Amino acid sequence: MSLTPLDIHNREFSKSFRGYDEDEVNEFLQQIIKDYEALIRENKELKEEVGAMKEKLEHFSNIEDTLSQTIIVAQNTADEVKSNSKKEAELIIRESEKNADRIINESLAKSRKIALDNEEMKKQASIYRTRFRSLLEAQLEMLNDQGWEWDSLDKEANQSIDYLSDEKISKAE
């Protein structure tokens, strides 16, 4: 059990013949009481300060734990966002590839149709040119059979026929 300032103050010493000077002992005891009280106060203040420091330490430990958990949650969220973004990008790429394939196939089909249409037009132009030539030749023959003697007219007609058929051929091509 530790002494209190009151214990020191109330302490009585027995008196002896050759004892110590009572005033000197009392003065010394008063000094001890004062120092002891100061030490007790300082010890109490330090205990309070240690308690406050423990509370702050606990508070900061809680903050540290919270921050650690927040960082972990943020990292997990970032990883999840990154994963979702990657999946979305892959989905967009696949969709774009499908669209590109569809567009290419449609373009090829249109190109084939245009090529077929072009061949058909060439055939029709050739048929038209042949029929037109036959018609002109028949008309010339008719003119020759009726006895028209317009040699110069006949020559001009042949030139016109040649010119027209050359022009139709070049347009058809």
User: What pLDDT was estimated at residue 81?
Assistant: 96
User: What pLDDT was estimated at residue 146?
Assistant: 63
C-alpha angle 88/89/94, rounded to 5°? Answer: 95
Residue 123 has pLDDT above 80, yes or no: yes
Mean pLDDT (whole number) for 89-105: 96
CA dihedral 91, 93, 95, 99 (to 10 degrees): 180
User: What pLDDT was estimated at residue 96?
Assistant: 96
Question: Mean pLDDT, the chain, as a whole number?
Answer: 86
109: helix, strand or coil: helix
Query: Using one digit for the tens of pLDDT, what is the confidence trace for 19-52?
Result: 777 788 888 888 888 888 999 999 999 999 999 9
pLDDT band at 142 (very low <50, low <70, confident <90, very high): confident
Residue 74 has pLDDT above 70, yes or no: yes
User: What pLDDT was estimated at residue 1?
Assistant: 54
Q: What end-to-end distance do the CA atoms of the chain give, in Å?
A: 126
Give percent of the chain with pLDDT exceeding 70: 85
pLDDT band at 107 (very low <50, low <70, confident <90, very high): very high
Whose structure tokens read 């972990």? 72
Give percent of the chain with pLDDT exceeding 90: 57
Q: Tell which wins on pLDDT, 168 or 96.
A: 96
User: What pLDDT was estimated at residue 50?
Assistant: 97
